[in-house]
Structure 1
Amino acid sequence: MAHGTSIQYDPVAEIGGGAYGTVYKARDIESGQFVALKSVHVRTDQNGLPVSTVREVALLKRLEQFDHPNVVRLMDVCATKGANQETKVTLVFEHVDQDLKTYLEKAPAPGLSPDRIKDLMKQLLCGLAFLHSNRVMHRDLKPENILVTSQGQVKLADFGLARIYSCHMALTPVVVTLWYRPPEVLLQSSYATPVDIWSTGCIFAEMFRRKPLFCGESEMDQLGKIFEVIGLPPEEEWPTDVTLSRKNFPTLTARPITDFVPEINEHGAQLLLKMLTFDPLNRISALNALEHEYFRDEATSTQTKS
């Protein structure tokens, strides 16, 4: 981990302040290219080493070697020691001008074309399949964390940082949105890579709707909004390691997903439901989602068979 190399970067503008600290657009003085700087304050052990952070960053740096087109590049890491057992870690990422939230807002009415949505989804799932195959969970996928370049290339950002951030989170009162969180996280059950698939399903629906699918105001409210769409799951699917009982929710049956996402085609609706499956073990994986019929529709007309 490089120390104190942040002098190399000249901040140009503040991009945004989130729950995880401020993000700056900066210029790399040596190369002249734009980068995104994110700084987090992390707690350290007796030796002044932010243990989990070093581990997480090492993992992110390892991903860097693959240079995946749908994953934002981590270009540098700078650590500076602060006072009272805190270290400031600055992560230097490639800079992309807009996120999916802005991209969707900027799309002229009636919104993105079905083909454009399919292309964005395919890229998103490619990036996710890459992360998951390298045992990296995103854990906080939402339109603000999906970057879209001016050429329409999708890049996942902020992945693998959830654990680095969680200790920083203790220091900040900002509420992180619940809208893309899967039931197992809302119920505080154990979770794994399927969390990201649920979030991707929410984003898939939002690309058609141009507004979020589930806008809950608390964990309980969020679960209620989810069950209004997918129905209350059967008792045997309810996780056993949670305090919240299934009895807290009214018995609801699933409604057709097209009631909520009318513009989606039949194969798209099938894929969406496989992503918005309550039981994470039955939820489709990123790799299997890429093989879904939805991506094969019109594939023959747009590509000559090799």
Structure 2
Amino acid sequence: MAHGTSLQYEPVAEIGGGAYGTVYKARDTESGQFVALKSVRVQTDQNGLPVSTVREVALLKRLEQFDHPNVVRLMDVCATQRSDQETKVTLVFEHVDQDLKTYLERAPAPGLSPSRIKDLMRQLLCGLAFLHSNRVLHRDLKPENILVTSQGQVKLADFGLARIYSCHMALTPVVVTLCYATPVDIWSTGCIFAEMFRRKPLFCGESEVDQLGKLFEVIGLPPEDEWPTDVTLSRKHFSPLLPRPITDFVPEINEQGAQLLLKMLTFDPLKRISALNALEHPYFQDEETLT
């Protein structure tokens, strides 16, 4: 990681913020092109940056070599020591002007066409399958973190240091964690899939309990044997509900799309479809092929 090269990037506007810091649009003073800067504060010790952080940055840099079309490019990494206990690590990404939230808002009524939604979903899943195959989890997929270029190309963004499964973690006995982690991204992708049709969120609760209640109104109350054992919220808090047809909530979706959406919104993470398998779903086959 380069030290002090953050002077090369001149911030011009704040474009977002989150739990891991503020994201800025900046100009590369050497090339003149715009970039996106995302800083993460990392605790340091007498040996400098933790090995895990160095490893994770190396993994991000390795992903850049693949230059995947559906993952935002990491162009540079800068480290600036703020104190003996803290270093600011700045990730420099390619800049895209528009996210999926804005893209959906700008679409003229009645919204995106079914073929456009299918194309966006295919690209989204391609990027996700690539990240998952390299042990990178997003864990915060939402329309604001999915970029759409002026040519309609989807690029997954805002996956930072705190969201990477290191090689060490993948080789420990607790590998089951990874099985539970990647399906979180698939659930989020299902919610985004529905939102592309609805132009509003599928589940919009005011609290955790309310959110789960709205979720069970759609998929039904899960059976006792699927209820997680390591949570404080009991299944008894919720009324027994049977699943309703997904088309009640997403009426514009076709039959194959509805089937795929339900596979993404399967309650048990271990039974949820993977990004790779989702890409093989009949929904993505051409109509001519299906007939």
- TM-score above 0.5: yes
Go from structure 1 to structure 2 and tell me whether the alpha carbon gap of 1:102 and 1:257 turns closer, same or farther (over 3 Å shift): same
- Displacement of 1:177 in angstroms is 22
- Displacement of 1:50 in angstroms is 4.1
Go from structure 1 to structure 2 and tell me whether the alpha carbon gap of 1:25 and 1:105 turns closer, same or farther (over 3 Å shift): same
Per-residue Cα deviation, 1:57-116 (whole angstroms, up to 9, x for no partner): 221111111110000011111111112511111110000111101111111110000000
Partner of 1:304: 289
Go from structure 1 to structure 2 and tell me whether the alpha carbon gap of 1:177 and 1:285 turns closer, same or farther (over 3 Å shift): closer
- Displacement of 1:33 in angstroms is 1.3
Go from structure 1 to structure 2 and tell me whether the alpha carbon gap of 1:36 and 1:169 turns closer, same or farther (over 3 Å shift): farther
Go from structure 1 to structure 2 and tell me whether the alpha carbon gap of 1:176 and 1:150 turns closer, same or farther (over 3 Å shift): farther
For 2:85 and 2:266, how far apart are their aligned partners in 1? 43
Go from structure 1 to structure 2 and tell me whether the alpha carbon gap of 1:175 and 1:103 turns closer, same or farther (over 3 Å shift): farther
Q: Judge which range, 156-165 or 274-283, deviates more.
A: 156-165
Unaligned runs of at least 5 residues, structure 2: none
Go from structure 1 to structure 2 and tell me whether the alpha carbon gap of 1:118 and 1:176 turns closer, same or farther (over 3 Å shift): farther
Percent identity over paired residues: 90
- Displacement of 1:126 in angstroms is 0.3
Go from structure 1 to structure 2 and tell me whether the alpha carbon gap of 1:225 and 1:177 turns closer, same or farther (over 3 Å shift): farther
- Displacement of 1:42 in angstroms is 2.1
- Displacement of 1:51 in angstroms is 4.1
Q: Judge which range, 3-12 or 264-273, deviates more.
A: 3-12
- Displacement of 1:161 in angstroms is 3.6
Unaligned runs of at least 5 residues, structure 1: 179-190
- Displacement of 1:11 in angstroms is 1.5
Go from structure 1 to structure 2 and tell me whether the alpha carbon gap of 1:289 and 1:170 turns closer, same or farther (over 3 Å shift): closer
Q: How does 1:198-277 map to 2 (within 5 A)?
A: 198-277=187-266
Go from structure 1 to structure 2 and tell me whether the alpha carbon gap of 1:59 and 1:52 turns closer, same or farther (over 3 Å shift): same
Go from structure 1 to structure 2 and tell me whether the alpha carbon gap of 1:34 and 1:249 turns closer, same or farther (over 3 Å shift): same
Aligned length: 290
8 A Cα contact 1:96 1:147, kept in partner:
yes
Aligned-residue Cα RMSD (Å) equals 5.5
- Displacement of 1:220 in angstroms is 2.0
Go from structure 1 to structure 2 and tell me whether the alpha carbon gap of 1:162 and 1:219 turns closer, same or farther (over 3 Å shift): farther
8 A Cα contact 2:139 2:163, kept in partner:
no
Per-residue Cα deviation, 1:117-175 (whole angstroms, up to 9, x for no partner): 00000000000111111111111111111000000000001125444899999999999
Q: Secondary structure at the match of 2:174?
A: coil
Go from structure 1 to structure 2 and tell me whether the alpha carbon gap of 1:132 and 1:18 turns closer, same or farther (over 3 Å shift): same
Residue 196 (str. 1) matches residue 185 (str. 2): yes
- Displacement of 1:30 in angstroms is 1.5
8 A Cα contact 2:147 2:155, kept in partner:
yes
8 A Cα contact 1:138 1:161, kept in partner:
no
For 1:232 and 1:124, how far apart are their aligned partners in 2? 29
- Displacement of 1:250 in angstroms is 1.3
